Structure 1
Amino acid sequence: MRRILVVGSSGAGKSTLAGELARRLDLPLIHLDRHYWRPGWTAPAPADFRAEVAALAARPAWIMDGNYASTLDLRLPRADLLVLCDTSRLRCLVRIVRRRWTHRAAPRPDLPEGCPERLDLDFLPHVWRFPRDSRPRVLAALAEHAPGLPVRRLRGRRDAARLLADVGK
């Protein structure tokens, strides 16, 4: 495996898992949030972001974390494995609140400069609706753009530990 795509709800553990996969497999780590957001949480022009993601996905090896449904068509066909972090809504919300508290003074390593951790009340409903709104989009993109791509669906820490144990073999 040379290219692993990690997707899932915010707070599901994507960045942590992607970092550990990259470390264990000695592969480059790409946090899409670092490429998407500009200082002050400013979004790029969609065409600019797609071009950047296309260039990132074209690399020979990577562990890439981030949803960004508008670019799944670029990333899924290049991936060797899709990891879907399918953690419970409640656990995701708890982790987001904890993450906000943990990174109140120091920036998160998966975010770009000028984008301090924040807890936006408009963001929480997005997390709650991930299973209903976003997961089906990921699965539809998978069916359309990479129907034969292997998928590991992780529902919790045990599943993540099994995946990490498997990649160590």
Structure 2
Amino acid sequence: MTKDQPKKIHIIGSVGSGKTTLAKSLSARYNLPHHELDNVVWQRLDTGDIRRSEKERDEYLKSIVKTDSWIIEGVHYEWVAESFENAEMIIFLDVSYRKRKYRIIRRFILQKLGLERANYAPTLKIFRKMFVWNKFFEEKSRQEVMAILGNHQNKLFIVRDSIELEKIDIWRREHG
């Protein structure tokens, strides 16, 4: 890791925007621990997932944010202000609605074939919910996220495609 490389990165975007893929890539590249916000919300047990209370969830997030380095990723934005505040870089994956729909379908097929791991059982019910969540994000949440992230312009990168991801790396090297 170079001295100008951010050690605290928050990645946000809708279902199918590429958050987990990017987080895993950056985690491996810069040796930063990666945390999925869904795993902050849900306690993953062999017997099934249990939703944490808001207090437990918030304390868990706070324990991650207090560490020296992290990548936090997820669609959640209402209760993660502390992560946004402490992040050295925020990446908003603002991928097109159409591309996200394609990725949801592709992911479901790969999970059903056992070629991609999931934190949840890839059921038809979840598959349908992902389309509902994606549409809700497009119609409502996206604007709310943009408003919240407006307070963090100095460290915000809005990424719509892989070319813009390369620009982040170039900018960081030039301005780090």
Counterpart for residue 143 of structure 2: 136
- Aligned-pair RMSD on alpha carbons? 2.4
Q: Once superposed, which parts of structure 1, at least 4 consecutive aligned residues long, lie more than 6 Å away? A: none
CA shift, 1:90, in A, is: 1.0
Q: Distance in 2 between matches of 1:14 and 1:88?
A: 14
**CA–CA separation in structure 1 for the residues paired with 2:146 and 2:80:** 10
5+ residue gaps, structure 1, are none
The worse-fitting range, judged by mean Cα deviation, of 98-107 and 4-13 is 98-107
Query: Mapping of 1:1-169 within 5 angstroms?
Result: 1-38=6-43, 39=45, 40-106=48-114, 109=117, 111=119, 115-118=120-123, 119-143=126-150, 146-164=151-169
One-letter amino acid of the counterpart of residue 121, structure 2: P
Contact 2:104 2:130 in 1 (8 A): no
Q: Which residue does 2:3 correspond to in 1?
A: none
Structure with greater helix percent: 2
Distance change in 2, residues 1:125/1:77 (3 Å): same
Cα distance between partner residues in 1 of 2:27 and 2:172: 10
Q: Larger Rg: 1 or 2?
A: 2
User: Given that residues 149 and 156 in structure 2 are in contact (C-alpha distance below 8 angstroms), is that contact kept between their aligned partners in structure 1?
Assistant: no
Cα offset, 1:116, TM superposition: 2.1
More off after superposition, 8-17 vs 61-70: 61-70
- The CA deviation at 1:48 is 1.1
Partner-residue secondary structure (3-state), 1:70: coil
Q: TM-score, normalised by structure 2?
A: 0.80
Shift of 1:127: 0.1
- Give, in angstroms, the shift of residue 121 of structure 1: 1.6
CA distance in 1 between partners of 2:161 and 2:82 (Å): 27
Structure 2, unmatched stretches of 5+, are: 1-5
Alpha-carbon distance change, 148 to 162 in structure 1, aligned in 2, over 3 angstroms:
closer
Code of the aligned partner of 2:53 = A
| Distance in structure 1 (CA, Å) of the matches to 2:131 and 2:158 | 23
Could you give the per-residue CA deviations for residues 26-49 of structure 1, whole angstroms, max 9, x where no partner exists? 211112222322344542212211
